[in-house]
Amino acid sequence: MTRSWLLICTCLLVWLLCCQAARSRFPEDQQQPRIINGTVARVDEARHLVSIRLLRHDNNFGSGHICGGALIAPSKVLTAAHCLYNNQRKRFRRASEFVVVLGTLNRFERRNGTIVSQVTSMAYMHTFSPDSMRDDVGILFLRTGLPLPPAGVHLTVAPIQLAGQVTPPGRMCQVAGWGRTEQSSLSNILLTANVSTIRHQTCRMIYSSGLLPGMMCAGRLQGGTDSCQGDSGGPLVHEGRLVGVVSWGYGCAEPGLPGVYVDVEYYRQWIEERSGALPHSRTNTQMLLFLLLFQLLLRYVLVL
């Protein structure tokens, strides 16, 4: 009887902890970055990593950073859909609201090799939900990406390949981001941390119905090292390939509560099919229809 009551009380405590953490999953500053117990990243392990910023907040270069992302093609960045979403206005932001910075470890430094690009268009799934984090995957297409061959190889920027198969549990991965450390002070320098992929069944036991298709877990079950809100959109890398995207979690580096990531292999076909040719915009759709109607009218006039 005593053991039964102890088990019930333990389960109730975990449930209350999760409820409290769930309420704080989307605070007003939900996109403030944090890497817990990380180390300073090296250039060679972060050439794919980008800083996604709100243009209107980046007057002081580096201050507009909200999310991470990974360069997966010369002008194509993979990130989380909630990084593109304005939670206060309940809508996706416009592409013109963003600026993307590549090729710097210090988010406040703009060096000779640093690329600063506007965003021409975005892609995301209309099934994305900011409440459940379903289909939390997004893409930004850059106006100024990597120069195409034969312009040469960039020293500090390079795309990363997508994972081609499911990453088994227990594999050591790297997650990186700028910002708040375990002392809750913002970091100017890109930090990286080692985390392990966690068996899907274990993750399902922890998060129950909150773990939806296309989600995977990584971290340390004993706690202490983790990504957190605002590292959002940043890459989870295993053996030089992109296997996950930082999505959500309960708390930061809490024991028994690993981080939840977008499973890149699950969404690989959708990611590869997005080319940026048709931006996600009602205005652009209307413009396309206008041009088609104009062409039809012009042909009609010429026939007459």
Residue 29 is among the residues annotated as catalytic for this protein:
no
Cα gap 171→165, rounded to integer Å:
13
- Considering the candidates 232, 238, 247, 280, report the single residue annotated as catalytic: 232
Residue for token digits 């959708």?
Answer: 270
Output the six-digit token pair for 291: 């041009």
The CB-based long-range contact list for 279-283 (8 Å cut-off, 24+ gap) reads 279/95, 279/120, 279/121, 279/122, 279/141, 280/92, 280/121, 280/122, 280/123, 280/124, 281/94, 281/95, 281/121
Cα gap 186→193, rounded to integer Å:
16
Residue 121 is among the residues annotated as catalytic for this protein:
no
How far from 34 is each of 88, 139, 182, 226, CA to CA, in Å? 21, 22, 8, 9
- Considering the candidates 51, 58, 65, 82, report the single residue annotated as catalytic: 82
Cβ distance 176 to 46 under 8 Å? Answer: yes
Cβ contacts of 84 within 8 Å, gap of 6 or more = 92, 93, 98, 122, 124, 138, 140
- Considering the candidates 75, 121, 135, 136, report the single residue annotated as catalytic: 136
Residue 82 is among the residues annotated as catalytic for this protein:
yes
Positions marked catalytic: 82, 136, 232
